[in-house]
């Protein structure tokens, strides 16, 4: 009996703290600075849509490039380890000697991130997507420092889990003898001949296995991911990280499929690789041309490796960016054809052909939507009521809040929640709490024990957080 009273008392206390937190939250809805303090303290669970290289801030990347004395292209702000044959490339040490380093540092920051962006001189999506290749050499070989930066930032803003899209898996597997399949696959895709595509992929898959595709996955899992994760002691009491492999949309079909097969093998075998993704601009010429073919490739890999989970960028498009017809089917194809376990962005939802059915299906099958408010505003210029967040909410599609590329976008997890609260008054404190719990429940963590521990930890963090209210 005594235990019952204690439990009842604890429940009342918890809910009254929760109510007081909600009451306070409603008073600060339009106060950005108060919301920032509120959400800085609030436990935020996981960041499930997170690109490793886009999440590192430009400052440390630049310091690494200078320390390594890379070559800087003084027009484009690209850095390279070896001097390319064309273009004006200067060593950082030369810039230091001739006194121009400071002014270049400023220019570099403006090309490697959205710092000082004025929305006039340059297309925002172009600036965003171009930045990756400019600083890429400063990422290579510095994965450890990058992972620690992300971990430390997460801990400091009460984020306990990150599922980061780490890398494509390096491979030297030669596909010269398979390139004939590129045009064949595209032809079949044009004819929407799914059966023939699957048969063709079967032949390519067999060839890839004969060429020891698995060895690249094993090497990546053991000598890169597991080693980094263990050596850096990434997981501890406060923080957990898991990784996603990804493939690049702009690659030729056979090479993309090769990378996808290796990514699936890797995710199937490693406890640390939680899933697979597909990245790079969705509106690119090859991405658009081969979109449906990519969906069939995921479907094929799923049939081979049914335990592997995959989130897919889909519908990161809007009116004006592509022809309107192209806005009607990408999310549906990722959900129905490819069988995605989570959808990244889903911004063009309202243009989907059968958007209501799609929303009902996503809700019924518990396929979450990864919402990236800062990213969508910068890259697509979609915000406020043009953003489909409220529709996903209304239909009961599970929502998770994520950063996408906090480094390039110079944002953090807190800012996502500030915008969410400020822009969408129908989203209550308890909805927000639900989104935070979703970010653990819908993560791709394989070990149920780890998931349970993160959820338990989240309960405790919320208890501590809510004890701040009412404000004394």
Residues that bind Zn ion (CB under 5 A): 404
Geometric angle at alpha carbon 402, from 237 and 334, rounded to 5°: 120
CB of 15 to Zn ion, least distance (A): 36
Closer by beta carbon to Zn ion, 271 or else 284: 284
Closer by beta carbon to Zn ion, 43 or else 344: 344
Closer by beta carbon to Zn ion, 200 or else 341: 341
d(CA 430, CA 207): 52
CB of 425 to Zn ion, least distance (A): 27
Closer by beta carbon to Zn ion, 253 or else 346: 346
Closer by beta carbon to Zn ion, 204 or else 276: 276
Contact 163, 244 (CB under 8 A): yes
CB of 48 to Zn ion, least distance (A): 11
Geometric angle at alpha carbon 175, from 172 and 179, rounded to 5°: 150
CB of 109 to Zn ion, least distance (A): 22
Closer by beta carbon to Zn ion, 78 or else 370: 370
CB of 47 to Zn ion, least distance (A): 11
Closer by beta carbon to Zn ion, 316 or else 466: 316
d(CA 39, CA 276): 30
Closer by beta carbon to Zn ion, 58 or else 458: 58
CB of 344 to Zn ion, least distance (A): 5
CB of 213 to Zn ion, least distance (A): 26
Closer by beta carbon to Zn ion, 32 or else 283: 283
CB of 404 to Zn ion, least distance (A): 5
CB of 461 to Zn ion, least distance (A): 26
The CB-nearest residue to Zn ion is: 404
CB of 51 to Zn ion, least distance (A): 6
Closer by beta carbon to Zn ion, 162 or else 188: 162
């Amino acid at each position: 009996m005594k235990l019952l009273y204690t439990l009842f008392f604890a429940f009342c206390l918890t809910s009254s703290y929760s109510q007081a937190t909600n009451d306070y939250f409603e008073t600060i809805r339009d106060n950005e600075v108060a919301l920032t303090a509120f959400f800085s303290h609030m436990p935020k669970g996981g960041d499930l849509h997170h690109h490793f290289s886009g999440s590192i801030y430009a400052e440390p990347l630049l310091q690494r490039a200078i320390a390594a004395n890379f070559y800087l292209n003084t027009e484009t702000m690209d850095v390279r380890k070896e001097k390319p044959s064309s273009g004006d490339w200067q060593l950082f040490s030369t810039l230091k000697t001739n006194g121009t380093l400071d002014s270049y540092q400023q220019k570099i920051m403006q090309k490697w991130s959205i710092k000082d962006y004025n929305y006039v001189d340059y297309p925002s999506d172009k600036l965003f997507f171009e930045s990756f290749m400019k600083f890429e050499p400063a990422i290579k070989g510095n994965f450890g420092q990058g992972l620690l930066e992300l971990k430390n930032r997460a801990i400091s803003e009460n984020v306990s889990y990150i599922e980061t899209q780490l890398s494509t898996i390096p491979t030297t597997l030669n596909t010269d003898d398979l390139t004939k399949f590129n045009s064949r696959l595209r032809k079949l895709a044009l004819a929407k001949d799914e059966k023939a595509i699957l048969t063709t992929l079967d032949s390519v898959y067999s060839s890839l296995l004969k060429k020891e595709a698995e060895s690249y996955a094993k090497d990546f899992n053991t000598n890169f991911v597991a080693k980094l994760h263990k050596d850096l002691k990434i997981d501890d009491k406060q923080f957990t990280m898991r990784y996603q492999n990804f493939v690049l949309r702009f690659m030729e079909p056979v090479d993309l499929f090769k990378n996808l097969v290796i990514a699936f093998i890797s995710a199937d075998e490693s406890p640390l690789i939680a899933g697979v993704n597909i990245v790079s601009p969705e509106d690119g010429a090859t991405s658009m041309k081969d979109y449906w073919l990519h969906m069939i490739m995921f479907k094929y890999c799923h049939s081979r490796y049914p335990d592997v989970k995959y989130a897919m960028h889909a519908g990161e498009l809007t009116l004006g960016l592509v022809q309107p017809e192209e806005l009607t089917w990408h999310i549906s194809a990722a959900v129905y054809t490819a069988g995605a376990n989570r959808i990244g962005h889903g911004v063009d939802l309202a243009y989907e052909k059968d958007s209501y059915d799609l929303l009902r299906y996503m809700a019924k099958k518990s396929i979450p939507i990864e919402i990236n408010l800062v990213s969508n505003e910068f890259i697509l210029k979609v915000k406020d009521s043009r953003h489909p967040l409220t529709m996903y909410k209304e239909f009961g599609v599970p929502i998770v809040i994520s950063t996408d590329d906090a480094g390039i976008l110079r944002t953090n997890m807190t800012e996502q929640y500030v915008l969410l609260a400020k822009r969408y008054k129908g989203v209550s404190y308890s909805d927000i709490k639900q989104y935070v719990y979703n970010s653990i429940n819908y993560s791709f963590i394989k070990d149920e024990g780890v998931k349970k521990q993160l959820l338990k930890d989240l309960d405790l963090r919320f208890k501590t957080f809510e004890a701040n209210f009412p404000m004394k």
